[in-house]
Amino acid sequence: MNDRFPIDLKVNGQRYQVDVPVYRTLLDFLRDDLGLTGTKECCVVGECGACTVIVDGRTVNSCLMLAVEADGGEVLTVEGLAAGGRPGPLQRAFLEHGSAQCGFCIPGQLMSAHGLLLENPHPAAAEVHEALAGNLCRCAGYEQITEAVLAAAEEVGG
Amino acid sequence: MQAFAYARPESIPEALALLAEHGSGAHLLAGGTDLVIALRNGSLRPTVVIDLKRVTGLSPAIRREDGHLCLGATTVMRDVERDAEVLRHFPALAEAASWVGSVQIRNRATVVGNICNASPAADTAPPLLVYGAVVLAVGPDGERRIPINDFFVRSRQTTLPAGSLVTGIELPLPAGRMGSAYTRLTRRRGTDLASVTMCAGVDGAGVTRLAYGSVGPRPVLVCDESGVLADPAAPDEVKAPILEEMLAGASPSPRSMRAGPEYRLAMLRVLGRRALQTAIDRLAKGMA
Amino acid sequence: MNAETIGADFPRTGGLSRVTGGQQYVADIKVADALQVKLVHLDCARARILSVDKSAAEAVPGVRFVMTADDLPQPVPRFGPHASDRPVLAAGRVNYHGEFVAAVAAETKEAAEEGARLVKVEYEELPAIFTVDAALAPDAFLVQDPAIRRAGDPLANTNKFAEHRFGWGDVEAAASAADLIVENRYAYPMVTHFAIEPHACVAAPDGDGVVVWSTNQHPFQLQKILAKALGLPLSKVRVIAPDLGGGFGGKQWPNIQPLLAFMALKLGRPVRLVLTLEEVFQQVRRTSAEVRIRTGVKSDGTLVFQDIESNFLVGAYADIADRVVSKGNYLAAGPYRVPAVRIIARGILSNTPPATAMRGFGVPETAWAREMNLDECALALGIDCLEIRLRNLARYQEEFVPGDTPADGRWEQTVRRAAELIDWGKPMPPHCGRGIAVAAKSGPTTGLSYATVRLLGDGSVIVFSGTSDMGQGARTVFAQIAAEEMGVAVDRVSVVMGDTSVVPYDQQTSASRSTVIMGTAVLNACRDIQGQLRSVAAHRYGVDEAAVTVDRGVVRLTGEELSLVEVAKAGLGKMGGEYVGNGIGRKDAVPDHPLQGTAAFFEFNCTAIEVQVDPGTGELTVLRHVTVGDTGKSLNPMQVRGQDDGAAIMGLGHAMMEHYIFDDAGRVRNLGAIDYRIPTSKDLPLELISEQVENGDGPGPYGAKGVSEGSILCVAPALGAAVRDAIGIAIRDLPLSPERVWRAMRDGK
């Protein structure tokens, strides 16, 4: 036991083998150590969802997870949603539907929406509301966000 | 964030040895959704955090065993709310799990963590009480089975002996027909801590169990064996005094920000009647 | 106008980086060598500081500096938009829960946090004032030392920061002619902005000056305040304000920035601070209000007078709250024809977090009282609540506030449309109710915005504007205007904002002004280029300038039409180059006007709500929420909808669940996201309909008016009326929490 711990994980498909301080949250690791600042920090108590990322296929609040807990896992952040630099279907739908206003909550919203579509490719509006209930948007663009998620599901799912 | 040491044992004996070595300075980590907040705001200052997620034998799986369903020490809420066996036999537990925080929280938060924190508002506590769950623990003196009603003391305090850890929760499969329901009162519909929690269970023999929380230092389990509450034909004025007596164990704090004591007590009755009705309806429909 | 550009749903300019995570907000910017700062504050609302012991903090490895008031010039510099009353760091006293007394700069966040925890402040806690009644009690102590009040302020020895009197006609005479007078008291809670981006600031020495990155709606105002506090010329203070993660008024005026600038200059190193959400709640909030209103009507519902006394609880320092009090109350009588009005509006100082601007700027507080009271008049007279509004609503071009801008919209259209969308008058099931309310807010009363537009050699365009884009979509609108005027595609326009060293002056981003005032500046800058190209075309084609017209992107010569870009390219010839246009948008002050200026436009809104009340628990389900605004012309309807939906839901948050909770000693108990609730995706109305009336009658480009605040103005009274319709009881305090509604049903009052 000491205050650093070696971890080996993949972030957006890229492998990292690093020693991290054990007190470092996954959020701080992504933002400060890897420079992936698309993941946002706001409430740091798991209420706002701005820091949402996907770990091993599941959405999590990266502010409530220590980086060491992601050891051996695969992390997907908003930066990993654009394949080859081209925005993915959810991202395009968010643009087309005006879902991003100030944009600060949007990476978290996108990750929750992505997590939902992984499990449920054809959600109903109420299921979108449920899946995104942990992502606060003070611009309150919830309607346009929901529309974008449904449209992206349509596009991808056919 | 404060500094602390981190340990990741691979076996139960190793985890117990760490607990023995560090005593009160050790804190167990399962989902971390409460612990990491406490670590950041300094309300907990452990010397070592023991991560249980890689311990062989503390699996996240939900297992069907002889006569019961067993939740693992690291079973997360999200798996409980969607598990077919839980939904079939213990729907109120699935409902309660589905009300905990957001999807992100439920993907990390464990049922065992929920009861070990022993928050009076813990959503999973009332259904576990109604279903007669047993907490499985292991400590320096070996294994121990603690009926869940003997487990809670008050917020952040349980009867789990020092140096022990919880390895799972056993839910006995109902012997006969049963109807159950969970409901809660919150300040908004999206993720929220409950101001009142309420679970009702009614069985084919006419026994009614109610468990409720967030209205006192610990969740409360009460039982009506007269058959009156479970009787769909019994008039309200006959049920009311029985219900009143069953809810007498509530003593909400006047200091809460979430709701005043008067309102909580009144809502306890409203939710009690509603949960009971849903449980009776489900019993009639054969829905558990 | 080109319908494909103006009035079209263009995806947001800057939207791509918002959906890829590439958008760099202040907290995302890496400034090399920056020290991390953590603030030290006390767990009390008011205290006398006896001593500050830095030694334990300074001993933490990585801690470089612990700044206290002693490290600042003496007396400690004070700043503020209205009065220079707020110290850079608490000077001997703490006057609200969260006022910072020291700041620790360290190499890492962890060291700064540990250092901050170890700064030992000895203090004597003092009683605090956090209600209007306590502040106005005869034996109340003074929240502000008279020495920091403005010189000669006659109220300096009271807790009244200011008292404004507005009105016209003879209220007493009108009262004797009224058939019915209804008097009530209404309260609006203390709520906060809760932008998802917490406030952040980085300050760094920059040659012989300073550069400050700040989450800020008004970079030029911050520049001015910093220059004054630091004693530097404006040219040596550079403010960079990247696009904001939400503002809502909470990022208008400085709080932490002067401290960071002083620290950077003292240390000769960059310093960086991101507030926690809890700290944000302690730095910015909306004014809470207690409004007593007397409404007089004739038996047919015609308003004869309104008599309004508002006490707005402001914080320990004035910030911009006094302007909220005056502007929010100036239209307190509403968008109605009222022969006699008397308004007394006070800002009351208290030991609470500084109240600042917030979406709606004082209007939601007064609209709550006025609209609810008007309904009480209607009900007492047996008049329909829609009818009483239509009867009294100011007609187009009617001067409803004498001496000010007349009604600039056909507001009855808006109201009738909202009524139609909510099925006004249709019977409802039990426990359900409907309510309707209207409100108008003055747009900016003064304004000065400069824009520069560069038409580049390949026909692409860069717009330079000092407006801040905080989500309202100003960038997109400016790109659309430039595209329309230059005759190019919107995606060939870039918009540069948010750097006082790069863009020309803009007064501020507030009061829904930017489409109208900065939009006009952009339009004028484009017209400047059009004028230049008129000469180019005349010269090149050997015709008289008078024979050349430029309309948007098209240049017309006798018998010939050329694209503007074609003419521009031809004019540049082989050498290449570009055209630079400058434009101004302004709204001049009117010195003797009570608000120092008339309204540039009004944001008028009608909100109608259908609600279901759970008779057992008091929980509300908003079945349908209709919000209709008068936008003049919606330049980008998709963005307008985003703003209108968003303001409507924020209004529901205020009306249903948001409020600060104080303990007995004046500490805010529910700081942060766990116990201060805002609406989530599961708290939406089952149906939310936002519509706009567009008659092209606004003063902005293409007939636009400002939007963004309208939909929040009268949500509370529409909901309050709907609840009253459902349960038969008018509740006069907010929020309409389940507990409050239940209590009203139980008590029958």
For the domain made up of C361-442+601-747, give the CATH fold.
Answer: Aldehyde Oxidoreductase; domain 4 (3.30.365)
The verdict on C747 touching B (C-beta cutoff 8 Å) is no
User: Matching CATH topology for C361-442+601-747 and C447-587?
Assistant: yes
DSSP state letter for C251: T
Order of strands, sheet of C237-240, starting from the edge strand that comes earlier in the sequence:
C63-68, C100-106, C35-41, C271-274, C200-206, C209-214, C237-240
Containing domain of residue A148, as a range?
A: 89-157
Find tokens 């400002």 and name the residue. C706
CA atoms within 13 A on the CB side of B202: 26
Vertex C550 angle, CA C547 and C554, to 5°: 120
Question: For residue B191, is it within any domain?
Answer: yes
- Provide the pLDDT for residue C316: 98
Task: Let me know whether A70 and A94 are in one domain.
Answer: no
- Residue A2: per-residue pLDDT: 63
> Looking at the partner chain, which of A79, A95, A146 has a beta carbon nearest the beta carbon of C16?
A95
Predicted local confidence at residue A62, as pLDDT:
98
Question: Rounded mean pLDDT of A84-101?
Answer: 94
Count residue pairs from A and C with Cβ separation < 8 A: 171
Q: What is the pLDDT of residue C146?
A: 95
Q: Which CATH number fits the domain that encloses residue B23?
A: 3.30.43.10
- Rounded to an integer, the average pLDDT of B36-49 is 95
- Which residues, in sequence order, are CB contacts of A71 under 8 Å at separation 6+? A5, A7, A8, A9
Contact B187 C737 (CB under 8 A): yes
Place of tokens 């699935």: B94
Task: In whole angstroms, give the CA distance from residue A41 to residue A37.
Answer: 9
Whether A71 and A94 share a structural domain? no
Cβ contact (<8 Å) for A37 and C21? yes
The order of strands in the sheet holding C180-188 is C160-168, C340-348, C303-313, C288-297, C180-188
pLDDT of residue C3: 59
Q: Cβ contact (<8 Å) for B257 and C114?
A: no
SS3 C305: strand
How far apart CA C564 and CA C533 sit, in angstroms, is 8
Q: Detail the DSSP E strand segments found in chain B.
A: 5-7, 26-29, 48-51, 62-65, 68-72, 134-139, 142-147, 152-154, 157-158, 165-172, 178-185, 196-203, 208-213, 220-224
Kindly tell me if the per-residue pLDDT of A107 is higher than 70: yes
Using 70 as the pLDDT threshold, list the residues of chain C that sit under it. 1-3
On chain A, the residues whose CB falls within 8 A of the CB of C358 are none
Mean pLDDT (chain C, rounded): 97
Q: What is the Cα–Cα distance from B129 to B138, expressed in whole angstroms?
A: 21
The answer, for C677 touching chain B at a CB cutoff of 8 Å, is yes
Dump pLDDT digits (tens) for C96-112: 999 999 999 999 999 99
User: What would the mean pLDDT of B237-246 be, rounded to a whole number?
Assistant: 95
Please identify which residue in the block is written with the tokens 């997109």: C476
| Alpha-carbon radius of gyration of chain C | 27
Pairwise CA distance, residues C187 & C290, whole Å: 5
Q: Is the pLDDT of residue B228 over 70?
A: yes
**Which DSSP state fits B30?**
S
- Domain-embedded: residue A109: yes
Question: Which H/E stretch holds residue C264?
Answer: helix C257-267
A100 lies in the same domain as A131 = yes
Number of domains present in the structure of chain B: 3
- pLDDT tens-digit series, residues B268-287: 999 999 999 999 999 999 87
CATH number for the domain spanning B140: value is: 3.30.465.10
The last residue of a domain, from among A23, A52, A77: A77
Indicate the number of domains in chain A: 2
* Substitution target from B48, B82, B95, B104 for chain A, most A beta carbons within 10 A: B104
Q: Residues of C numbered 631-690 whose beta carbons fall under 8 angstroms of chain A's beta carbons: which are they? A: 638-639, 641-643, 645-650, 672-674, 678-682, 684, 688
Q: What is the mean pLDDT of residues A99-122?
A: 97
From B172, B187, B217, the end of a domain falls on B172
Task: Give yes or no for B274 touching A (CB within 8 A).
Answer: no
Q: Residue B287 has what pLDDT?
A: 72
pLDDT digits (tens, 9 = 90+) for B52-71: 999 999 999 999 999 999 99
A82 inside domain: no
Q: CB-based contact (8 Å) between A106 and chain B?
A: no
Q: What does the domain layout of chain C look like in residue ranges? A: 31-126+197-245+250-283, 361-442+601-747, 447-587
- Do residue B186 and residue B167 come from a single domain? no
| CATH code of the domain covering residue A35 | 3.10.20.30
For the domain that residue B277 is a member of, what is the CATH number? 3.30.390.50
**Mean pLDDT calculated for residue range A116-134:** 97
Domain limit, last residue, from B143, B172, B201: B172
Helix, strand or coil for residue A16? strand
Mean pLDDT of B121-131: 98
- The edge-to-edge listing of strands for the beta sheet with C554-557 is C549-551, C554-557, C560-563
CATH classification code of C31-126+197-245+250-283: 3.90.1170.50
Domain that holds residue B13: 5-51
Query: Over the stretch B143-168, which tens digit does the pLDDT of each residue have?
Result: 999 999 999 999 999 999 999 999 99
User: What confidence tens digit (pLDDT) does each residue in C269-319 have?
Assistant: 999 999 999 999 999 999 999 999 999 999 999 999 999 999 999 999 999
Contact with chain A for residue B22, Cβ under 8 A: no
First to last CA, chain C: 56
Q: Quick one: pLDDT at residue B51? A: 98
Are A144 and A118 part of one and the same domain? yes
Radius of gyration of chain A (CA): 16
Neighbours of B186 (CB within 10 A): 20
The rounded distance, in Å, linking the Cα atoms of C215 and C26 is 6
Q: Do residues B83 and B94 make contact, with C-beta atoms less than 8 angstroms apart?
A: yes
Same domain, B184 and B167: no
End-to-end alpha carbon distance in chain A: 51
pLDDT of residue C2: 55
A107, A152: one domain: yes
Shared-domain flag, residues B135 and B161: yes
Whose structure tokens read 């598990």? B83
Residue owning tokens 């009390």: C44
Long-range contacts, B53-56 (Cβ 8 Å, 24+): B53/A69, B53/B8, B53/B29, B54/B8, B54/B9, B54/B10, B55/B9, B55/B10, B55/B11, B55/B12, B55/B14, B55/B15, B56/B10, B56/B11, B56/B12
Taking the Cβ of residue A19 and every Cβ of chain C, the question of whether any pair is shorter than 8 Å is answered with no
Q: Rounded to an integer, what distance in angstroms lies between the CA atom of residue B79 and that of residue B59?
A: 12
- d(Cα C611, Cα C627) in Å, to the nearest integer? 14
* B164, part of any domain: yes
The CATH number of C447-587 is 3.30.365.10
Residue B269 domain-assigned? yes
Minimal-distance CA residue of chain A relative to C646: A140
What chain C residue is nearest to A48 in terms of C-alpha separation? C673
Q: Is a pLDDT exceeding 90 seen at residue A84?
A: no
B247 CA to centre of own chain:
18
Name the percent of chain C lying above pLDDT 70: 100
